Chains A and B, each alone.
Chain A
Amino acid sequence: MANRKELDILFKATKISKSFGDFKANIDIDISIKKGEIHALLGENGAGKSTLVKIFYGVLKPDFGTIEVNNHIVNISSPKSARDNGIGMVFQHFSLFPALTVAENIFIALDKKIIFKNLISEISSLSKEWELFIDPMRLVSELSVGEQQRVEIIRCLMQNPKLLIMDEPTSVLTPQEIENLFKILKRLSSSGCSILYISHKLEEIIELADQVTILKSGKCVSTLNAKTTSTKELAETMVGKKIIKLKKSSVIDNSKNVALEVINLNKIKDNNFGITLKNINLKINYGEILGVAGIAGNGQIELMEMLSGEAICENNDEILLDNIPIGATNITSRRKLGIEPIPEERTLHATVPNLAMNHNTFLTYYYKYQNTKNFFSNFLINPQNSLEESNKIIKDNDVRCPEPNPLANQLSGGNLQKFILGRSMANDPKVAIFSQPTWGVDIGAATSIRQKLLNLSQKGKAIILISQDLEEIFELSDKVCVINNGVLSDILSVNEMSASDVGLLMGANVNNLKKSEIL
């Protein structure tokens, strides 16, 4: 019987490990996929899903570990050798030439030699067989995103794959297109083709998959039977149960004044890779920390831009500070009013890496020179003045510098973050908006940054904390909400939300982000 089971296994990866420098993206991951099985790979952003499938498809090489196809160890050194072993992959961002036709796109990516005319008839018959309706002579630029995905799938099917890897295939599709895609995937699997399906959408996985492997921080946490599990169980496993509740002394006080209020804020995405913000409402009081959880790429960057003033609202009254409309003001005016954004990217966004610290200090407070008595000082930079200011920030915040007034890129991530925080706090803001403040810094620096956030809120500042790190959100926040595909959930007190609730909201279908409806 055991032997029989072994025969069923199409694809087996054992102890796959991959590091980038010090960062371990994958640690001893085991996964095995049966013939004709739809196997889902679930995990938060940064859990190591993409790295793993890139290894399977030969884009990356693992540091350790073996891959077996049909019980034979294979060496997948390139995407071509992956295809030779019957593995096909549809990437999240398609690799098609818009100016070429469907058939031409398929033709140039084909490993085998084929006469172009025969190819067209082969595409037609494949698209009929699998109901992937597409006209081979149409230009790719004329196709919808869903149709482009069909081209990618046909391109994989041309190679008769035994295993089809799909990386977040539904992130770009409409609900109808998703329904169609699922039909096709189910038919494919019943015809014997295995599918490795990467997603962070829980409902999809329950609906589609047979087995689900869950990754967390580069490790394989568990493999569950998708038919018997629940979205709740998946969410808990994905997020991890150990949420440290470091309760703060402050009691939530409803009498506090409202600091910042966002009312029906809408913002249409700037480009195809952006997220449209839909009807955002939020309210934060002085002395509160509001945690905004969510998987990266669900509108956090756009929300940050709107709140900071890097992007300006259409209507002035979409954002209120102390009940005064400020939506149409720019980032400099908002800084003067007391809103300090601390962006996710420390270098190239919050600081300029090849400029010295005094110039990086000058970057965000140059306006302090304007309207001074000396007319010419408006046009000049004063390195001495900003040097004093930056040295004070460095001293007050224990920023470790390799030399006096170094370039920003000479500082470590944690120290640079301390500097950026200190620079913002030197302006004594009313509202501070943090985006992933402890991302990529070591534990010591992270703890000190978190403590600083708590201290600030106790001093009466209003703090918005946009973070993917749920432990951080629960450790610090008084109120929690979730952003998912540009929609912000209801804001609830941290006591009313559990980690698995948040996990469910993060992976939910966008249409129902009301907690009452989904939980």
Chain B
Amino acid sequence: MFTFVPRDKVSKNWVIVGPLVSIFFTIFFGLLIFTFLGYDPLETLYQVFMSPFSRIDRISDIFVKACPLIIIGCGLMLCFRANIWNIGAEGQFIMGALLAGSFALLFPDVETKFLLLIMLVIGFIGGALWAFIPAILKTKLNVNEILVSLMLVYVAMLFIDFIVRGPLRDPMSFGFPLTKPYPEGALINKIPFPGIGFLGQLHYGILIILLLIPLSWIFINKTLGGFKITVLGSAPKASKFAGFKENSITTTVLLLSGGLAGVAGVVEVSANMGQLQPEVSFGYGFTAIIVAFLGRLNPVGIFFAGITIATVKLGADNAQMAMGIPKVVTGLFEGILLFFLLTGETLQKYQIKWNKVK
């Protein structure tokens, strides 16, 4: 048998070297698997890791793809730091997008971007309300938030499906399950660069990231609220000892993370779709869980983790298009990457000891 024994002190060098070693192992095993499946391993690696950086518009697409991941990840960071397991950001994303979108469709002719600002607020409220359900069940009845938040994802998916096929379907959509297009005031525009024009799909939504990362860094490191979250997450008894109210912290982090997921939903739809459709998210809410952990529950880390995951996702798409590698294979590769990154993190904190069975 072997047991994990906590290390006395985590080496600071390993915090940097660890992920590099993990990536090395990922590449090594990736090469093995691609070779074994009969693909050119170097070409595959190029497609997955390098091709997203090969053109400037592709680079900007990384940011577009990373944008919702980073927004949701910053919210989830608060939950996970408090040891509250919100697994339902996907549902909160959908509900935020749905509520804000329904609001926008009430004003078909509005052109002012003020509408968009209101939509962001409504999206926040929509996501927060969806996260309030697990919050109230946990604090009042001690129901496990993992199960409730996860199951509500499927409720949200079916609900948006129903709304888009039913009440809000555009009569002119020729039977497609789509709503009417958003009014001009509800859209997030692409950023025009003087002399260059648009860079891929790069839109103003990424400004939210630029705002969110410093704000959430200040919140967790410099404010009493962030301090309470850290204390509750690392030592619940100490938080009781300090007189912090566990239930209100739990509710707050769930509302904030739900709200941010809702905002991400608004950004995604307003920037990239321009109307509601049955599928507004492509697993962003779930992928953001990985982003939050990969970023070590730290806003700056989450930024880079979001970029990394977005790169691999886009790279996987490229590999599929250029080489016909099925999505499951690249999914497997993503799995290997995560496995080694998380193993590396665990081994930084723990050492393995073997106990001989006599």
Do chains A and B interact in one complex? yes
CB pair A380 B241 closer than 8 Å: no
CA distance A351 to B242 in the complex (A): 9
CB pair B223 A348 closer than 8 Å: no
CB distance from A420 to the nearest CB of B (A): 10
CA distance A158 to B240 in the complex (A): 47
Closest to A311 in B: B240
- Chain B, residues 131-168, CB within 8 Å of chain A (1/0): the string is 00000000000000000000000000000000000000
What count of chain B residues pass the 8 Å CB interface test?
A: 18
CB pair B224 A380 closer than 8 Å: yes
Contact partners of B212 in chain A: CB under 8 A: none
CA distance A341 to B242 in the complex (A): 11
- Chain B, residues 204-239, CB within 8 Å of chain A (1/0): the string is 000000000000000000111111001100110110
Asked if B38 is at the interface of the complex by the 8 Å CB criterion, the answer is: no
Asked if A95 is at the interface of the complex by the 8 Å CB criterion, the answer is: no
CA distance A343 to B223 in the complex (A): 26
CB distance from B247 to the nearest CB of A (A): 13
CA distance A476 to B242 in the complex (A): 28
Identify which of residues 130-152 in chain A touch chain B, using a CB-to-CB cut-off of 8 Å. Answer: none
CA distance A115 to B242 in the complex (A): 57
Identify which of residues 206-239 in chain A touch chain B, using a CB-to-CB cut-off of 8 Å. Answer: none
Asked if B175 is at the interface of the complex by the 8 Å CB criterion, the answer is: no
- Chain A, residues 368-389, CB within 8 Å of chain B (1/0): the string is 0100000000111100000000
Identify which of residues 56-78 in chain A touch chain B, using a CB-to-CB cut-off of 8 Å. Answer: 61, 77
Closest to A335 in B: B243
Asked if A363 is at the interface of the complex by the 8 Å CB criterion, the answer is: yes
Contact partners of B353 in chain A: CB under 8 A: none
CB pair A380 B223 closer than 8 Å: yes
Contact A353 B235, CB 8 Å, known A331-B241, A379-B223, A381-B223: yes
CB pair A349 B223 closer than 8 Å: no
CB pair A330 B243 closer than 8 Å: yes
- Chain A, residues 342-365, CB within 8 Å of chain B (1/0): the string is 010101111111110001001110
- Chain B, residues 1-32, CB within 8 Å of chain A (1/0): the string is 00000000100000000000000000000000
Contact partners of A379 in chain B: CB under 8 A: 223-225
Asked if A439 is at the interface of the complex by the 8 Å CB criterion, the answer is: no
Closest to B227 in A: A381
CB pair A378 B224 closer than 8 Å: yes
Contact A343 B230, CB 8 Å, known A366-B224, A379-B223: no
CA distance A362 to B243 in the complex (A): 12
CB pair B237 A348 closer than 8 Å: yes
CB pair A381 B241 closer than 8 Å: no
Asked if A310 is at the interface of the complex by the 8 Å CB criterion, the answer is: yes
Which residue from B222, B224, B234, B238 sits with its C-beta under 8 Å from A350? Answer: B238
- Chain A, residues 381-420, CB within 8 Å of chain B (1/0): the string is 1000000000000000000000000000010000000000
Which residue from A353, A363, A378 sits with its C-beta under 8 Å from B241? Answer: A363
CB distance from A424 to the nearest CB of B (A): 11
Q: Say which size band chain A's interface belongs to.
A: 20 to 34
CB pair A310 B241 closer than 8 Å: yes
Asked if B358 is at the interface of the complex by the 8 Å CB criterion, the answer is: yes
Asked if A332 is at the interface of the complex by the 8 Å CB criterion, the answer is: yes
CA distance A331 to B239 in the complex (A): 11
Closest to B226 in A: A381
CA distance A378 to B358 in the complex (A): 59
Closest to A310 in B: B240
CA distance A471 to B69 in the complex (A): 60
CB pair B222 A381 closer than 8 Å: yes
CB pair B224 A348 closer than 8 Å: no
- Chain A, residues 291-324, CB within 8 Å of chain B (1/0): the string is 0000000000000000011100000000000000
Which residue from B9, B226, B242 sits with its C-beta under 8 Å from A363? Answer: B242
CB pair B224 A349 closer than 8 Å: no
Closest to A77 in B: B358
CB pair B238 A351 closer than 8 Å: yes
Closest to A354 in B: B234
CB distance from B106 to the nearest CB of A (A): 36
Contact partners of B234 in chain A: CB under 8 A: 352-355
CA distance A312 to B227 in the complex (A): 24
CB pair B223 A352 closer than 8 Å: no
Closest to A78 in B: B357
Which residue from B222, B238, B242, B243 sits with its C-beta under 8 Å from A380? Answer: B222
CB pair B242 A364 closer than 8 Å: yes
Contact partners of B243 in chain A: CB under 8 A: 309, 330-332, 335, 367
Contact partners of B238 in chain A: CB under 8 A: 348-352, 363
13 A-B pairs besides A331-B243, A351-B235, A352-B238 with CB distance below 8 A are: A332-B242, A335-B243, A343-B237, A343-B241, A348-B238, A349-B237, A352-B234, A352-B235, A363-B231, A363-B241, A364-B241, A364-B242, A367-B243
Please name the 4 residue pairs, one residue from A and one from B, whose CB atoms are nearest each other, closest first.
A332-B243, A349-B237, A331-B243, A348-B235
Q: List 14 A-B contacts (CB under 8 A).
A: A331-B241, A332-B243, A343-B237, A343-B241, A352-B238, A353-B235, A355-B231, A363-B238, A364-B241, A364-B242, A378-B224, A380-B224, A381-B224, A381-B226
